[in-house]
Amino acid sequence: MTTPFADDDATPASPPPGCPAHGLDTTGLDTAGPGTAGPHPAGSGLDAPGLRRIYGPEAEADPAGLYEKLRAEHGEVAPVLLHGDLPAWLVLGHSANLTALRTPSRFSRDSRRWTAFQEGRVTPDSPLMPVIAWQPLCVFADGEEHRRLRGAVTESLNRFDRRGIRRYVTRFTDQLVRDFRPSGRADLVSQFAEHLPMLVMTQLVGMPEEYGPKLVDAARDLMKGTETAIASNDYVVASLRRMMERKRASPGTDLVSWLMEHQAGLTDDEVLEHLRVVLLAANETTVNLIADTLKMILTDERFRAHLSGGHMTVPDALDQVLWDSAPMSLVAGRWATGDTELGGQQIRAGDMLLIGIAAGNVDPVVRPDLSKPLYGNRSHLAFGSGPHECPGQDIGRAIAEAGIDILLTRLPDLQLAVPESELTWTSAWISKHLVELPVSFSPRFPGEEDDTLPQQVAAAAPGGAAGPAAGAPSAAPASASAASAPEPAGRVTLPRQRRSWWSRLTAPFRR
């Protein structure tokens, strides 16, 4: 395990140059009373008293219920209060969200446009700052600057060989499973989902493997906002800075090298900040996607029946989860470039819009029956849309899909170890996280590993020959006896897949 580099300057985190937080009066707190918006242009809809907060214990206890109350009261777009009782618009409708995402001429990503910033009502220590403070990144840029920065990121990410990603996922899944398999019990959140994405991403970035465990810990600490979050961020930045120094002297086939040599001509600071965002965003969202998909597979009768009956694949399960439990509940934000209208509401220039992913995905207009499965339907909002659609979605999905597939192969009798009612989540205003997913399975000790996996892969390939990555693990067909036996509650028996593991893995990249 590594530690921060001694020769790296460890400076406290501060807003970047150009951020509207610079020069703010640190005593400039919002003086509005609880439950009311601060100063705002009259007639805009955000100056009404009694707006609902979307932060705090009450709101975070049942965010889905809050969204439906807001939908009933306001329709597609609702006025709400953020931390500090700062007003914003929460977009609830599926169509309205797509409009906000796809029309940057009306709804910009440049947070410096926010009226609350311009009026000095956002303090530097506001909990909103890590999410909405402007930075020289593609996620806060529009127009030509956005195309330059995003082009470097997407073109570099698209250079990865998908078979290589599968090999990394296989290696780290095997390592994680070996650690807990002898006990016959595990928590698939803390012992699997919270580790796998970052371990894989460190390899794609080009870091030595020993960096992985420490970066996993730092990323988890940073995203949870603990007392040591700033130190964890410093460690992530120091690690990336050192990697850039090494790759400048000896480039490789990795994200650091490709960003540094890209024709867009990114500065060192731009490379560093984009690497940091890619690492942390990919980790946080993929952790949630893996955990929620495993939970649904283990607890939802529809999924268990379909998986054991061979009518649903792991990609199908991911599609459903991306509709029902998107990794991020909402995204802040967009800022109106001028006075406009959206969802029947009059939006004023400088107003903030919150992209309501969870609310839009259950919009009754597009989903009148929430119990109807949506296998193969990828018109959800989980990855956004328009020019700022998530550039790493294919890699994140590939890690989740392959990791779950391999885990279920290694632990074919996996079952939930506690009643579903005992599962709990921690919620924040932008996402919710499954706290634990306790499972049990047949223990197996070193030296008792299954030798049949390569043969299973070969048998599953056309004509009985191994596929493109011969010898890589794949889901084993359920035996005839297993298929006919009654399924215990919470237990998953791997199905006979309709497609080979290779075609399922690469499907997202061919669409």
pLDDT band (50, 70, 90) for residue 9: very low
* CB within 8 Å of 162: residues ≥ 6 apart: 398, 505, 506, 509
**pLDDT tier at 376, thresholds 50, 70, 90:** confident
Query: Would you say residue 304 has pLDDT above 80?
Result: no
Number of C-alpha atoms within 13 angstroms, CB side, residue 66? 23
86: left (phi over 0), alpha (psi -120 to 50) or beta: beta
pLDDT grade, residue 306 (50/70/90)? low
Q: What is the mean pLDDT of the chain?
A: 79
CA 492/CA 299 separation, integer angstroms = 9
Q: Which of 21-35, 146-160, 418-432, 434-448 comes out lowest in average pLDDT?
A: 21-35
> Would you state the pLDDT for residue 428?
76
Predicted local distance difference test score (pLDDT) of residue 445: 78
pLDDT band at 230 (very low <50, low <70, confident <90, very high): confident
Q: State which of 7-21, 39-53, 111-125 shows the largest mean pLDDT.
A: 111-125
Q: Is the pLDDT of residue 264 over 80?
A: yes
Decide: 194 and 447 in contact? Cβ < 8 Å: no
- Judge whether residue 198 has pLDDT over 60: yes
d(CA 453, CA 435): 32
- Report the alpha-carbon distance of residue 223 to residue 296 in Å, rounded: 24
Alpha carbon distance 204, 200 (integer Å): 7
User: Per mean pLDDT, which range of 5-9, 189-193, 342-346 is the poorest?
Assistant: 5-9
Band the pLDDT of 311: cuts 50, 70, 90: low
Higher pLDDT, 237 or 189: 189
Kindly give, in sequence order, each residue whose CB lies less than 8 Å from that of residue 284, ignoring residues fewer than 6 positions away: 219, 223, 327, 431
**For residues 402 and 281, what is the distance between their CA atoms, to the nearest angstrom?**
19
Rounded Cα–Cα distance for residues 205 and 235 (Å): 16
Q: Per mean pLDDT, which range of 112-116, 134-138, 185-189, 334-338 is the poorest?
A: 134-138
Q: What percent of the chain has pLDDT over 70?
A: 76
Domains, in order of start, for the chain: 149-324+369-510 (1.10.630.10)
Residue 471 has pLDDT above 80, yes or no: no
Tens of pLDDT, residues 39-69: 444 334 888 888 999 998 888 889 999 999 9
Note the pTM of the prediction, 2 decimals.
Answer: 0.78
Mean pLDDT of 64-75: 96
Q: Give the residue, 276 or 496, on which the prediction is more confident.
A: 276
- Residues of the chain with pLDDT > 90, as a percent, come to 54
Q: Is the pLDDT of residue 480 over 80?
A: no
Element (H, E) at 80: strand 77-82
Q: Please tell me the predicted confidence (pLDDT) of residue 396.
A: 93
Burial category of 265 from C-beta neighbours within 10 Å (exposed 0-12, middle 13-18, buried 19 and up): exposed
